[in-house]
Amino acid sequence: MIKKNWSLVYSLIVFFADIVLFNIAFVAALYLRYPNIEDPLIYLEPWIILNILFFPFTIGLGVYRNIFQISPKMQSSNLKRFTFYLALTAMSYLFITKGHEYSRGVIIIFLLAQYFLLDISHVILYRLNKLLLNKGFGKRPVIIIGTDKTAKIFVQKLKLYYGLYYHKIGYLRNGSSLPADKEIEHLILGDISEIDEIIQKYDIQQVFIVSQSMSLKKYENVRLICEKNNISVKMVSPIIYDLINNAKVNDVTGVPLSTIKGRYIFDKWQAFYKRSLDLFSLLILSIILIPTSLIISIIIKLTSHGPVLFKQERALFKGGRPFLFYKFRTMYDNADALKHEMLSKNESNGALFKLKHDPRITPFGSFLRKYSLDEIPQFLNVLKGEMSIVGPRPLPLKDFDMIKNGKMNYDWYEKRGDTKPGITGLWQISGRSELTFEEMCLLDLYYIENKSIFLDLEIMFETIPVVLFGRGAY
């Protein structure tokens, strides 16, 4: 049982080891600064605050996401980010509360000590994990679709980032005109048409499609076969790399194209935690959202004719459950009637209509859009349970008529309906209006197959600078 679920067991070991070492670092810092301290309990308050910050910061900054797979170098980078944000928050807290009775020296020593201890612990546990991987703990047999130099380089990256976690069985030809790389010719197992038999023969648990193109329709049969066998298939291409890097996910394994079945109990609990996070966040944010909404409503009424709120029926895919979507009105009152006349000027594709210098937008509306303040009323949708804070972006029902089967078959778009729509998501922190519809859908697929409360917290953290600096919005 432990061997089969080793990735989860290992992640828990790292997490609890970090908690212990985190607290050891605080005690060590206290006694290093004051060797003869008589009453260490006077530092109880900052100790409690630091422990409270530990969970949301490590989770929100992705310290434990894919910890079973990633290299010590990447883990160290995550720990540096965690230490930076922890230091910033701890020092700000002491400044705001005027905690002069607490030595800044203790906090500085603690921050350095906890980083050092956690970093050393991660390296030791990583090496232990490598030894156990050699004994079959958590190792995943994989095949690569693609036989050219790009496929060989991808496998090298897999080994660099994930060590022995992915056990390469071999390669399949994908019908490309590019010649097979000579170094991997002896590892070619057959053609893409033989994938079903090869999956059964080698007990494959993961398939990677490595292709320079994004002709996803070409691999439709691969996806269906993988879904039938309940295994994951991921698409890897230069476009995918750019998307994932811009989304700050830094996952070299690509975007999932298949849906893994048999996770219903897990998904049920995950939905409960996701809803709890939404309501808790809404409660905290309401302190800012309510007065801000009142001010924005007054300015909208004073600067242009029409209602304060813009309401529109939206859904995640054609035929999906529609709901009434709320935004602050940013356009002139007759904007929707003019949209049909402006379709030929659309600067996006698929079901997205985007125009950088849209004449229908009011001057104040342009300001609201730049800093995403027009999205605030969607927290009403979250309160009603129609949306979540993090999730794929819902689209106007009539815009789905513009979708055509091109790079992706339409049923791939429908996979966006496997979760609730959201206010923010990977699309919003990765370029927003600058991305194409296909790119948005690929990021949605990545989110849906990797969704967790941890990833939601990461996206929330990354949304803050995007909103503050108005990146990619118009």
Q: Extract the residue ranges of the chain whose pLDDT is less than 50.
A: 262-266
Q: Are residues 146 and 88 in the same domain?
A: no
Residues 319 and 425 in one domain: yes
* Model confidence pTM above 0.75: no
**Considering 256, 273, 302, which residue would you say is the last residue of a domain?**
256
CATH number of the domain where residue 180 is located: 3.40.50.720
CA–CA distances in Å: residue 171 to residues 238, 435, 449: 19, 32, 24
Residue 1 located in a structural domain: no
Please check whether residues 33 and 144 belong to one and the same domain: no
Shared domain check, 268 and 215: no
Of 256, 279, 302, the last residue of a domain is 256
Place of tokens 């921050």: 111
pLDDT digits (tens, 9 = 90+) for 426-461: 888 876 656 777 778 888 888 887 777 778 888 888
- Look at residue 339 in the predicted model and tell me its pLDDT: 64
User: Do 155 and 86 sit in the same domain of this protein?
Assistant: no
Q: Where are the alpha helices (DSSP H) in 135-204?
A: 149-162, 195-202
CA–CA–CA angle 243, 424, 305 (5° rounding)? 120
Contact 145, 192 (CB under 8 A): yes
Helix (H, G, I), strand (E, B) or coil at 85: helix
Domain boundary among 192, 223, 256: 256
**Do residues 369 and 454 share a domain?**
yes
Clarify whether residues 235 and 330 are in a common domain. Answer: no
Q: Kindly give, in sequence order, each residue whose CB lies less than 8 Å from that of residue 416, ignoring residues fewer than 6 positions away.
A: 316, 317, 392, 441, 444, 445, 448
Query: Which tokens is 295 given?
Result: 């001010």
The pairing of beta strand 422-424 with beta strand 388-390? parallel
Looking at the structure, tell me whether residues 339 and 190 fall in a common domain: no
Please indicate, yes or no, whether residues 160 and 222 belong to a single structural domain of this protein: yes
DSSP string, 378-389: HHHHHHHTS-EE
Within 10 A of 464 (CB to CB), how many other CB atoms are there? 11
What range does the domain containing 126 cover?
6-134
pLDDT tens string 1-27: 666 677 778 889 999 999 999 999 999
Do 127 and 149 reside in the same domain of the chain? Answer: no
Q: Are residues 370 and 230 in the same domain?
A: no
351 and 375: one domain? yes
Cβ–Cβ < 8 Å for 46, 40: no
**Residues 424, 461: Cα–Cα separation, whole Å:** 11
pLDDT at position 427: 81
Helix segments in 173-263, DSSP class H: 195-202, 220-228, 238-246
Counted domains in the chain: 3
Rg for the chain, CA atoms, rounded: 25
Q: Is residue 339 part of a domain?
A: yes
